[in-house]
Structure 1
Amino acid sequence: MQSPEERTVQIVSDPVKRTVLAVLSETENGLTVHELASQLLRSDAIPGRSEAPNSPFQSMVVSLHHRHLPQLEDWDLVDYDRSQLTATISDAEEETWNGIEALYSAMTLLSPAAEQTTILHSRQEVYEHARALADRAMDELFLFYFSDELLDEACLPYAKRAIDRGVTFHAGVKDESARTFFTEQLPEATVWEPQMDWVDGPIDERPQISRLVLADRSHMVLGMWDDPTAPDPSEIAIVASGQKNPLVALVRELLGPRVTHLDLQRPIE
């Protein structure tokens, strides 16, 4: 059972829940799930949504219906009518939401980077955001796969478009068959076997890193397996952007010797 403080932190750090509450607090009669999804996809507060390929509207509707609105209802912040697919902000909790909104505004003023760090809760969301980063990259794109299970030919057009724009594409892949896949499909890319000492840990340690995508050394998505030993592990991810974002800066610091001096790595012919 989450404490009120834990719920507040989760809402402040989750742009979807935060925006849902902000939008509903400004409507008298509530909104349908489809109306909410449309407003969320137009919101600047949801990073990566406008750039995501293959309109994410239906994905957002499903996410609202099955995860965000039921959670907000459980926390007594929203009244959600599943039969009518309508949501309204709870009258009893308007004061709570005002406090959350004030806290978020203060955090944003004190630390702009806080607004640029979010959480993704499914493998599909991670795929969509990683592809959006590939489409956003202007100079260089670093891709690290720690599991060949994530290889997806549907991602290749995004990588190829980036290369065609003149983006320098590097793929660090631990698995030999995955490296072969990249060298065959993307001959212009630099593919190598990265040193993994900075992420390796006990096999049963949870969570375990699944992938890292870094665009222009300022936008990143870091995926993690919730339970890497499960037959079909679920994936969550941290998304961060901005040169001054602490997470982006930390990843640059960790990867610096590896991504800056690729000529010291052994390329795959």
Structure 2
Amino acid sequence: MSLPPFLELTTTAADVLADPHRRTLLAVLRDREGQTPTATTAAGPAMPIADLATEVAAVERGTPIVPDAHCERLQIELIHRHVPRLVDRGVLSRDADGDDPAVSLTAHPILDLEWVESLLTDPTGDDVPVAAETLTRTLEALREPRRLTVCTELASRDGSIAVDDLAAGVLVREGEADRPADVAGSQRTAVATELAHKQLPALAAAGLVAHDDESGRAALETDAPHWDVDWLADGPLAEAAALVRSDSTRRARPEREPSVPARTIARDSDENRRTGTDVESCWTLEGEANVAERGNEIAAGADEELFVMAPSAVLLGSTCLENLRDAADRGVDVYVASRSPRVRDTVRSAVPTATVCEPRFDWFSFPVDAPQCGYVLLADREAAMLVTAECEVGDESVRAGAITGEGRENALVSVVRTQLGPRLDRLPTAGDETDGTPLPM
């Protein structure tokens, strides 16, 4: 699969700059007077590799006086390792071999990248709050485009995430699916295995990601010094950095339990039910994607009945309707309560077998057209979620959050079940004849 041009340039630049000798070599050539190629010159003036090795050694050691033996060893390494690599990448042009081989910069597009120019002004990393070894490992890690996607996906999540869910999110960002629920199980497993054994260890070694192989979870290191390195945060990590910086309170928040992804909650609940242990805690979810995924999990787990109270159509999207339709097709009794005629008509059209009613009361007191809204989701009276959402007038984006719980003894599930249980028992099914009076919801 071909990469977008900007991503290909970014990963090429990371590969070229991953070695500290190559960083210094390019910086020396760039800083020579008249060396940088222009639109009218394919390459800058050539520099003998022997002279280049001496200058590279002087920059790296921070002194103009370097032992001849060191310069000779570095010259050999440049000739046999780094120069061929840079020539293959098209960044260097090499003169005809002779007694005194020379190289020059080409007009390669990576040299026009602002973050590359910034890095080459300080190739040894003396002015950045990241150790030289960490800087090298970071650039080595960013040579693979999927690792950039992993950082962006983790930056969009609050706290740690199961590697299995991370794999689905990465595939969506790579354009392999429209949403995590559409990712095939075999594809998800294959990518999760690759992340666990290859991509995440490399990012963890660079200090960008925390990865616990035993628990199968990963999280972005939002307190890493990398985010304070302007050329990193504005260059290869720009997309992830924008998400990190957009949450101005992220670093100031007190330590708390991370938001638990829906899939992990479901697995934990299954295990607790097998062992006879009640789940008494509730979890908070932040972000529309996390809320939607938890809703998918609850709906997919319904075996007998699924209830949704939706005061507004803001969050009743195509995914929610698909979940309701899938549940109805499995023989689940689907109930939808809403004061919104639009919601009721939409559900009746999309899920003809659902029981749809206008409740006499509403758990959410917001008017139907208010910029705030919310809904209640209850499956088999064993899993529940309360969602709230905000959207500014004229702003199509939705900022969603939720509290969710699982297990009959769970505090949230118990409250929802107590309030709705007697009323659900009195609701007729869609096929029953009614006298048209309001239903006791």
Query: Is the structural similarity TM-score above 0.5?
Result: yes
Q: Residues 55 and 216 of structure 1: is their aligned pair in 2 closer, same or farther, counting only changes over 3 Å?
A: same
Cα drift, residue 219 of structure 1? 0.6
Alignment of 1:206-217 (within 5 A): 210-217=374-381
> CA RMSD of the aligned region, Å?
4.5
Aligned to 1:148: 313
Q: 1:220 to 1:135 in 2, by over 3 A?
A: same
State the 1:151 CA deviation.
2.4
Deviation at 1:230, TM superposition (A): 8.0
Unaligned runs of 5+ in 2: 1-136, 142-146, 155-159, 166-179, 192-199, 201-207, 210-218, 241-254, 258-271, 429-433
**Is the CA contact (8 Å cut-off) linking 2:337 and 2:359 kept in structure 1?**
yes
Match of 2:426 in 1: 261
Task: After TM superposition, give the deviation of residue 157 of structure 1 in Å.
Answer: 2.6
Segments of 5+ residues of structure 1 without an aligned counterpart are 1-28, 44-51, 74-78, 87-96, 101-107
Shift of 1:240: 0.8
Larger radius of gyration: 2
Q: 1:135 to 1:201 in 2, by over 3 A?
A: closer
Q: Given the superposition, is the C-alpha separation of residues 217 and 188 from structure 1 closer, same or farther in structure 2, using an over 3 Å criterion?
A: same
- Structure 1 residues 152-231: aligned runs within 5 Å: 152-200=317-365, 210-226=374-390, 231=395
**Conserved in 1, the CA contact under 8 Å of 2:311 and 2:339?**
yes
TM-score, normalization: structure 2?
0.37
Identical columns (%): 26
Amino acid paired to 1:237 = A
Deviations 1:39-80 (A, max 9, x none): 72349xxxxxxxx6134989xx9xx99xx7465x2xxxxx36
Calculate the TM-score normalised by the size of structure 1. 0.58
Letter in 1 for 2:279: A
Displacement after TM superposition at 1:266 (Å) = 3.4
Do structure 1's residue 41 and structure 2's residue 213 form an aligned pair?
no
Q: Aligned partners of 1:218 and 1:135: how far apart in 2? A: 13
Counterpart contact for 1:179–1:192, Cα < 8 Å: yes
Aligned to 2:33: none
State the shift of 1:258 in Å: 2.5
Q: Which has the higher contact order (CA 8 A, sep 6+)?
A: 1
| Contact 2:311–2:364, Cα closer than 8 Å, also in 1 | no
Shift of 1:210: 0.7
Pair 1:113 & 2:235 matched: no
Q: Using the alignment, how far apart are the partners of 2:404 and 2:161 within structure 1?
A: 21
The offset of 1:143, in angstroms, is 0.8
For the Cα contact (< 8 Å) 1:53–1:132, is it kept in 2?
A: no
What letter corresponds to residue 168 of structure 1 in structure 2? D
Mapped to 2, the partners of 1:256 and 1:266 lie a distance apart of 18
Distance 1:230 1:55 in 2: 33
Structure 2 CA distance for partners of 1:218 and 1:80, relative to 1, 3 Å: farther
| CA pair 212-41 structure 1, distance change in 2 beyond 3 A | farther
For each residue in 1:114-170, what CA deviation from the matched residue of structure 2 results, as whole angstroms up to 9, or x when unmatched? 55x211111222122112211111111001111112221233332222111111001
Q: Report the AA paired with residue 194 of structure 1.
A: P
> SS in structure 2 opposite 1:221?
strand
